[in-house]
A and B are shown apart, each in its own frame.
Chain A
């Protein structure tokens, strides 16, 4: 327990510096793989997911969804459904026209998404009515009795269609940012189907490209994919008409975003809307911002009864997707392998509603530079409205699309230059103290170490990149390095309360969704307060009691909420020291609180338990608050400024074998590394890395939402493949780069995902000599690329002959 707790001065003096990570105490719990809180309930089946929630008088909801991607609703008749015995209420757009009715539109940035559609549906799956009934079965039967007459409208489903001259418009009116939106989110370049645009300008790209020795110009594609959280979206909403209060239990990652959306929708003060969040069966971005809380709440408002909505899996597939993206990227370099310029147009398919696209396409946009020093950069990043399900937050947050492009391009450039891909990267990696393309200085840079480790993990050498394995399988290796931002600016508050018996409550709105947030917060709180971790309880988010937190996403919880909890716990510890000072006849500054005991520094025999201190001073409880508020922002014209409070750094390497007859890719070796700074709980941290690695592999090889005329054709696990145990790489290794001492904590939830996709792409290209620029790398696409390469080689050979 050395060096535990005498760091408060350093910590608190830096509290005002928003860009500084809050140093946390190195104590008994931090750094240990302690067991997850309530772990037992995870293996005996008793963990209380939202799915289990029930209240007296509860009704069950189902949604009627549009079968068309774009249509006008000519008429709707719900009377037969309303007459069905057991049906409590049917909600349609007409219900929102009455005085005192809630708003019908919501959205985290633009209020463009209807709770239920009125005159127009904008994607196949858009809800047009909602039914509350005594059972889910009755609600389902009622859906069949609702008659809707549609008149199909011309649709746009791809970004190319959306941008075409004279394209049908998804929204007739241009989007507008809602009041009190997020500070970092603006709209620009709005018009046609463009929801928003982000741009970055640095140097003189045209001149630099013209002056480059080589320029690689390629276009890359990534498809829409779904989160497939094993637990679907679940909401239980209770609107109390007499009290004019709304209470919602939801499987959301953003309790306060949901509360604020509902306050706005129902015109209620925040004290009248309560959002409670139990443990989630997976989030991965799917459950950020209000999703189905508005419709469940509106239905409860109309029905006068509690309403529970559990999305069937095929409807969960329609809830939100990762953005499909088309990325045209040109990179210029010198013969020596120095990057000179990059020009990028990246088009994100945002689907029918803005959701969080305006932020995501900004982050995805500026991330196209990668962890490299490029003097001249021009990036134009667009979010397009289309008639597809809305796209939004997804583990990797725009970076997996960007990194797929820029890390493929690095290898393509290396091939053109005849330079080893690892060496080309090494020559251009950002180093500490250098400026990113946004102008912000990189306070940390560990990419070289990460790259070296990734290369070593696959025994990288320039001549071992490709080879042939047993039974003629093609072997290849690939590497990738990435950087990822975190949402900036952001705000997090936390509170703790030490009770007189020496146990402590942590009041935090961090959502536990499998990442182990509550365990990690307990560890940080315990060490900062100086009590055993077993004495700490972390509350579930409850907007009525737990302090504000922006969101549980963006890999920010351990650092931001961890920092806030640490500060709060230190307030309590300092109060304990002051209370104990008279009892122990020592200056508070000379007192140490550790393991639930207060003692005089250097004289451990002069001690009192924390409980004894409280008892003797007639203290009932001690409360403390803490916060982490970061600042930053980018200039809308130039993209210059501070994009991220700090950066996440990752690398991956992969070895694959490919059957040349079928094109199937077998991953034999997968390695992922991330810079962690300081790891609070190694066992949990490594699980996060495993998760990212497998998500990456799944996106690289298997996952794609397939639409036919805008209708999703594979909305269940029978037709949509995600990585299974049988697909596991023969060898999977994750590594965390740590620094000894007081290094800042770096989130690890997403860092490993983007580089895995790109490393696998590079490995496939190494093995086959043919690049698949479109994800996922299915056997068909691999074969196609190999055939195309064969054709090119033949053509080049012929041309060579002719020229001779």
Chain B
């Protein structure tokens, strides 16, 4: 790991970078608060650099075309698709991945299962808001980005934040339930046992999504 000030300026200074024989340019990426010096191809997307060079594997490729949200990271606080973000253009940006989320202290604390997790992560855990969880990092970061600018979002705003995210397993109801909890929105009822009918017991509905 190289500190920012140790990075030598490239010839011509500032923004102009001359690719080496391999077609790579040196870039310093500030990821989860730490600077990382990497050599990237000018066409290389941030997702591949994060996964392959930095071994941060919480962002995942689901489509490569900006349609699924599985590769979401935070860039200067905003949720972006790292599959469409060129790594060379990220110098100087504050990049944050799911691995960089931390508990804000207070609730949950360091002990127990939720220790060290953010409020949003804990809500996803408590609501079991995932099946295969391939999409989960993306949903969590989308909500983190929203809550960072709007600590009391409306339900519509939460839905809007999730609009570029797909969950093929169909965990949307639980994801909304977790989001409501994390966003301090009223919940829509919980898991409860229904009445016995004709010797057969039913369960009451989960939290439902709504519009």
Kindly identify, within residues 101 to 144 of chain B, every residue whose CB is under 8 Å from any CB belonging to chain A.
101, 113, 117, 121-122, 124-125, 128, 130-137, 140
- Tell me the complex Cα distance, A213–B199, Å: 38
- Tell me the complex Cα distance, A309–B18, Å: 32
Q: CB-defined interface of A684-696 with B at 8 Å, one 1/0 digit per residue?
A: 1011101111110
Q: CB-defined interface of B174-191 with A at 8 Å, one 1/0 digit per residue?
A: 111000000000000001
When the two chains form their complex, are residues A514 and B132 in contact, meaning their CB atoms are under 8 A apart? yes
Give the residue among A33, A43, A723, A740 with the most B Cβ atoms within 10 A: A43
A51-B57, A52-B57 known; A446 vs B168 contact (CB < 8 Å): no
Kindly identify, within residues 43 to 84 of chain B, every residue whose CB is under 8 Å from any CB belonging to chain A.
51, 56-68, 70
When the two chains form their complex, are residues A690 and B173 in contact, meaning their CB atoms are under 8 A apart? yes
When the two chains form their complex, are residues B131 and A739 in contact, meaning their CB atoms are under 8 A apart? no
A568 at the interface (CB under 8 A from B): no
Interface magnitude class on chain B: 35 or more
Q: CB-defined interface of A43-77 with B at 8 Å, one 1/0 digit per residue?
A: 11111010110000000000000000000000000
When the two chains form their complex, are residues B133 and A686 in contact, meaning their CB atoms are under 8 A apart? no
Main secondary structure of the interface of B (DSSP, over half): loop
Q: CB-defined interface of B86-113 with A at 8 Å, one 1/0 digit per residue?
A: 0000000000011101000000000001
* CB contact between B134 and one of A281, A692, A736, A738 (< 8 Å): that residue: A281
B200 at the interface (CB under 8 A from A): yes
Which chain B residues lie closer than 8 Å to A728 at the CB level? 172-173, 209, 211
Give the A-B contact count at a CB cut-off of 8 A: 205
Nearest Cβ in chain A — how far from B185, in angstroms?
Answer: 15
Which chain B residues lie closer than 8 Å to A729 at the CB level? 209
- Tell me the complex Cα distance, A369–B30, Å: 62
Which chain B residues lie closer than 8 Å to A789 at the CB level? none
* CB contact between B200 and one of A36, A514, A687, A737 (< 8 Å): that residue: A737
Nearest Cβ in chain B — how far from A326, in angstroms?
Answer: 27
- Tell me the complex Cα distance, A729–B172, Å: 11
When the two chains form their complex, are residues B170 and A694 in contact, meaning their CB atoms are under 8 A apart? yes
* CB contact between A717 and one of B63, B130, B170, B205 (< 8 Å): that residue: B63
A733 at the interface (CB under 8 A from B): yes
- Tell me the complex Cα distance, A44–B144, Å: 13
Which chain B residues lie closer than 8 Å to A740 at the CB level? 199, 201
Q: CB-defined interface of A166-193 with B at 8 Å, one 1/0 digit per residue?
A: 0000000000000000000000000000
B206 at the interface (CB under 8 A from A): yes
Which chain B residues lie closer than 8 Å to A400 at the CB level? none
When the two chains form their complex, are residues A40 and B131 in contact, meaning their CB atoms are under 8 A apart? no
Which chain B residues lie closer than 8 Å to A684 at the CB level? 128
- Tell me the complex Cα distance, A31–B99, Å: 33
A571 at the interface (CB under 8 A from B): no
Kindly identify, within residues 405 to 419 of chain A, every residue whose CB is under 8 Å from any CB belonging to chain B.
none
When the two chains form their complex, are residues B211 and A730 in contact, meaning their CB atoms are under 8 A apart? yes
Kindly identify, within residues 189 to 214 of chain A, every residue whose CB is under 8 Å from any CB belonging to chain B.
none
A137 at the interface (CB under 8 A from B): yes
When the two chains form their complex, are residues B170 and A683 in contact, meaning their CB atoms are under 8 A apart? no
Q: CB-defined interface of A447-486 with B at 8 Å, one 1/0 digit per residue?
A: 0010001000000000000000000000000000000000
- Tell me the complex Cα distance, A40–B122, Å: 9
Kindly identify, within residues 692 to 718 of chain A, every residue whose CB is under 8 Å from any CB belonging to chain B.
692-695, 716-718
Interface residues of chain B, those whose CB is within 8 Å of chain A, are 41, 51, 56-68, 70, 97-99, 101, 113, 117, 121-122, 124-125, 128, 130-137, 140, 159, 162-163, 165-176, 191, 194, 197-203, 205-206, 208-211
Q: Can you name 13 A-B pairs with beta carbons within 8 Å?
A: A43-B121, A43-B136, A282-B168, A312-B64, A313-B65, A449-B200, A693-B170, A723-B170, A724-B165, A725-B176, A737-B200, A738-B202, A739-B199
5 further A-B pairs in the complex, CB-CB below 8 A; given A282-B134, A734-B203, A734-B205: A39-B113, A43-B117, A51-B57, A230-B60, A687-B131
Interface residues of chain A, those whose CB is within 8 Å of chain B, are 33, 35-36, 39-40, 42-47, 49, 51-52, 137, 227-232, 279-282, 284, 310, 312-313, 446, 449, 453, 513-516, 673, 682-684, 686-688, 690-695, 716-718, 722-726, 728-740
Closest 8 CB pairs of A and B: A45-B58, A514-B132, A281-B134, A694-B170, A514-B131, A45-B98, A42-B133, A717-B67
